[in-house]
Structure 1
């Protein structure tokens, strides 16, 4: 699918970050498909920015494994790398467990309500087969304890590796296997509200481990397709 034709998407005050997020989200949601060549001129026209923030965004996306750049030649949207996704899952699961443990003593009633509301949106999106809505709501749910933990290092690492997993989660949330996350989210909130940091951390670990069977299946399919 080509770069969208809409122009001037990015606010001038947030050029670097918004350019990165716009291209990242287009890759994660499949607007920019694996193997698609990314031309600077097309991205500049779409986002309404200069070449510099586009190149900076592509450099960050390469670090995250979402694009591949050949110097002086071209930049391509990376195919899903199952091995990289498995590595990202193990790191991401451990960090979410950590931030929830740190966040529990700090979570306010308003933040707990925000988690409940995000999970309600998540459940509704799954019922309606709204995969982008489910991904966004899941992001919002887990983002509450990440922010409450005030762990800047964990937040930075999660921002780098989570997009790789979101490509995988689009597959999970489009099938019945994603429905179990609603109840798991409920348990996380319940343990957080009770002040049970270890229980909340364990429930979070269980939630993120649900990606493992899907990654194993993708790995087996990839191996079967290899001559």
Structure 2
């Protein structure tokens, strides 16, 4: 029940159904989701750990604002983790690994063609996680999973700031580098994406005020 409550509340926050700054009362959420307060409290603890909820002991719990500095930090860490996997994976990558990663890159290409931020984010995380799994590094996969919700929420609100031409060029270059099994090229593509392309999207979102910082209590 805690997992179900967590997943449903997470999606409501990421989609904007629950707005930044909105108060979260466990008894109201329990009634809304048809469960007891205990699973709700467990779910809120996990959401707070992922930066989606703010909890003030004996005061209130509310949906956390979208903090662009935290988003930047999450993007930096995501990139570092992925690039770290590349260093270990590419020198010993096998044919089936290459085909698997190229297929995931193909899913990113489809999302780019459809201008679908949600599907692109899912495919991006799946590709990064794919590298971690091939490496055999479960801790990298866990951190990617923890970073996902915060980045997903930003992407949902800031989809109008995406430069799809730049994102599309990244996907093409990444797939080529994977198929060539070129570690240096793969790292360079990822560095450019995480150091330049994604920060530029965040900056545009900030300039265009696309990410709400809070709602009236």
User: What's the TM-score, normalizing by structure 1?
Assistant: 0.75
CA distance in 1, matches of 2:205, 2:117: 19
Corresponding residue number in structure 1 for 2:145: 159
Correspondence for 2:203 = 216
Calculate the aligned-residue CA RMSD, in Å: 3.0
**In structure 1, distance between residues paired with 2:173 and 2:11:** 29
| Helix, strand or coil at the partner of 1:37 | coil
Which secondary structure does the structure 1 equivalent of 2:62 belong to? strand
Give the conservation status (yes or no) of the 8 Å contact 1:16–1:54.
yes
Most deviating of 159-168 and 112-121: 112-121
Partner of 2:213 in structure 1?
Answer: none
Kindly indicate whether structure 1 or structure 2 has the higher relative contact order, using CA contacts under 8 Å at least 6 residues apart.
2
Structure 1 residues not aligned, in runs of 5+: 1-14, 223-227
Structure 1 residue 81: deviation in Å? 0.5
Please tell me whether the aligned partners of residues 109 and 172 of structure 2 are also in contact (alpha carbons under 8 angstroms).
no
Q: Distance in 1 between matches of 2:182 and 2:36?
A: 49
1:54 aligns with one of 36, 40, 60: 40
Give the counterpart of 1:148 among 119, 134, 142: 134
Contact 2:101 2:178 in 1 (8 A): no
Say whether 1:66 aligns with 2:18: no
Does the 8 Å CA contact 2:6/2:43 hold for their aligned counterparts? yes
Aligned length: 210
Residue of structure 2 equivalent to 1:170: 156
